[in-house]
Amino acid sequence: MKARKALAPLLSCTLAAAALPAHGAGEARPFPQHTVYTAGTIKPKAQNQAALDRAVRDFYRVWKAAYLRSTGEGERYVFCNAENIFEPKSTRSVSEGHGYGMLAAVLMAGADPEARADFDGLFRFYRAHPSEANPALMAWRQVAKGSAIVTRKSDRDSATDGDLDIACALLMADLQWGGGGPIAYRKEAQKLLVAIQAAETDSRRHTLTLGSWVDTQSPQWGGLRPSDFMPAHWKTFAAAAAAPESGEWTRRTDATYRVLGEVQAAFSPRTGLQPDFVAWEAGAYRPAPAGFLEGPNDGAYGYNACRVPWRLGTDYLLTGDPRARALLAPLNAWVVQATGGDPGKLNAGYRLDGAPLQPDSSAAFVGPLAVAAMADPARQAWLDALWADLLARAPGGEDYYGNSVKLLTMIVLSGNWWQPLPP
């Protein structure tokens, strides 16, 4: 389901919208936040804080102009197929990208006076395209049909990663704007968390499934997408969910950290790379075989797993969880050695032993590795090089996926990511 390298001509930089004023509009946490991350972590030193903030604002304007669309009915969506990377070409939205859009809107509120209107429009689109498994979940894909955007029957299952980001964005919106408006953000988040618990979990192993379409009869039953592991989100969910779901999020966090640790120790102790998918076979977890879900490289570090360093790094920055840093340490060491400290030598995908999959490049790999580097003060030069690489990448050289991951990781890298975590 993930996007690949851009297939269309470069986006013009004229996509940039008119400058967005940098002031709040009643937000509790307006951008920039300058969050105090875990002691001992680092940020890019190549620019001062004002320049970091400005880089994020500038790229957000370009991203928003390129990808945020209105249906004309008070709904908004993230246009995922501007570069024709999805089949069918009529694809307009996927739940993964919708979650990215909702996170971006709530985090950039204060820099963008339209942020709440955008967020509420994104919420309405999400609710207008429910999964058939549970109406609180989002159907994974929407397509154009004439002038309308619809969900085909074949696309009415959910994808867990999109639902997780949407739920977290709703909890952030409750802190950002409160619950006194037309949308009760916290209640909507709690409904979504109940739906995730009902339709996207493997309660026996305290893990999440790939989506509502996976059941005990599916070949993918018991399997995981490591990039679905968003531990800082899950700690937020544990604080927000009602019992007994609250305790289950804590157990789920512990179980998934354990699984990733086991997979890394057995299959990638030198590189620290995680696979796109993990399968449950003969009572144990292992990298998924070819054809498990998306293709021949399902057991490699590809366009799904590239997000793992971002999610783990964010957890370490916000909560100081030592398990995150332990998983990132071999990855940080290996990637610097493999590239000689030159981001230009990064590949968009590796086998778990470190062999490159193909001579390709994407911001979707660069941004998350930069977040991982923030966990290790010895990686300052590497972090600065990765930040410079992100800034040098023309928006038109990336697709929706690369640009979206770039935006969200830049928010982390600039010190502006926050979540309504418990004290």
Q: Domain extents for the chain?
A: 26-413
Using DSSP, state whether 319 is helix, strand or coil: helix
Q: Looking at residue 359, what is its pLDDT?
A: 85
The span from the CA of 143 to the CA of 152, in Å, is 7
Asked if 386 and 374 count as a contact pair (C-beta separation under 8 A), the reply is: no
Active-site residue (options: 27, 53, 83, 96): 96
Amino acid residing at 172? M
The pLDDT, as a whole number, for residue 20 is: 42
Check if the beta carbon of residue 370 is closer than 8 Å to that of residue 413: yes
Whether 376 is catalytic: no
Note if the pTM is more than 0.85: yes
Residues of the chain with pLDDT under 50: 1-24
Q: What span, in angstroms and rounded, lies between the C-alpha atoms of 270 and 335?
A: 10
Is 96 catalytic? The answer is yes
Q: Which amino acid is at 170?
A: L
CA distance 249 to 51: 37
And the tokens for 167? Answer: 């739920």
**Which backbone phi and psi does 97 adopt, to 5 degrees?**
-70, -30
Catalytic one among 53, 120, 161, 200? Answer: 161
Fold of 26-413: Glycosyltransferase (1.50.10)
